[in-house]
Amino acid sequence: MNSKIMLRLILLSFTLVLGSPSIRAQQGTLKDLAFLEGHWLGTFSGGPIEAGWTAPAADNIIGYIRMMKDNKPTMYELFVFEQTDKGPVAMVKHFKPGMVGVEEKDKHDHYIFQSAKKNEALFEKEDASVRIIYERRSPSQLVIRRGSQKDGEWTFVDLFVFEKIP
């Protein structure tokens, strides 16, 4: 076989392997998400938004977000981060007031851990349509950023900005 063709095949193989989300994703643990722990308050769509997450224990972290407007709830999100053999996964279920589920009874949004660094973790929705970054910008500020792809590049915007509540 021609050496140029062989080199192209090797480069193509590297591109395919390195481009695969399951290969790129780092092995992580719930300790990478310990920075979420606490009680947080922010604003969203003209009303307060409250969040809280537990410390990692028993291979999980539990959390919630409560959105309010005009002194009434508008939406609840319940979170579970679970440790798996492939790293943490995030599962999110949404509810309207009255605990009316937005997703079907046995459905939820499922996000796969991609990477982490100090005070930051990246997850990607199972269908690869959305990425979420959880970022502790300071001891008193937590930000959730939402990413979408445009022209093959991920761009992120601050979705929720929280301040720590003592």
What is the predicted pLDDT for the residue at 20? 41
Collapsing DSSP to helix, strand or coil, 90 comes out as strand
**At 166, is the pLDDT very low, low, confident or very high (cuts 50, 70, 90)?**
confident
Pairing of strands 87-96, 100-101: antiparallel
* Residue that is written with structure tokens 């922010």 in the block: 42
Collapsing DSSP to helix, strand or coil, 131 comes out as strand
What is the predicted pLDDT for the residue at 6? 43
DSSP assignment letter at 15: H
For the beta carbon of residue 108, count every other beta carbon within 10 angstroms. Answer: 18
> Which domains are present in the chain?
3-164 (2.40.128)
8 has a pLDDT exceeding 70: no
Chain segment 38-83, per-residue pLDDT in tens: 999 999 988 999 999 999 999 999 999 999 999 999 999 999 999 9
State the pTM of this model.
Answer: 0.82
What is the predicted pLDDT for the residue at 19? 44
Chain segment 109-130, per-residue pLDDT in tens: 999 999 999 999 999 999 999 9
Specify burial of residue 101 (Cβ count, 10 A radius: 0-12, 13-18, 19+): middle
Chain segment 14-35, per-residue pLDDT in tens: 333 344 444 344 589 999 999 9
**At 2, is the pLDDT very low, low, confident or very high (cuts 50, 70, 90)?**
low
What is the predicted pLDDT for the residue at 160? 96
What is the predicted pLDDT for the residue at 1? 56
* 56 closest CA partner among 76, 85, 40, 35: 35
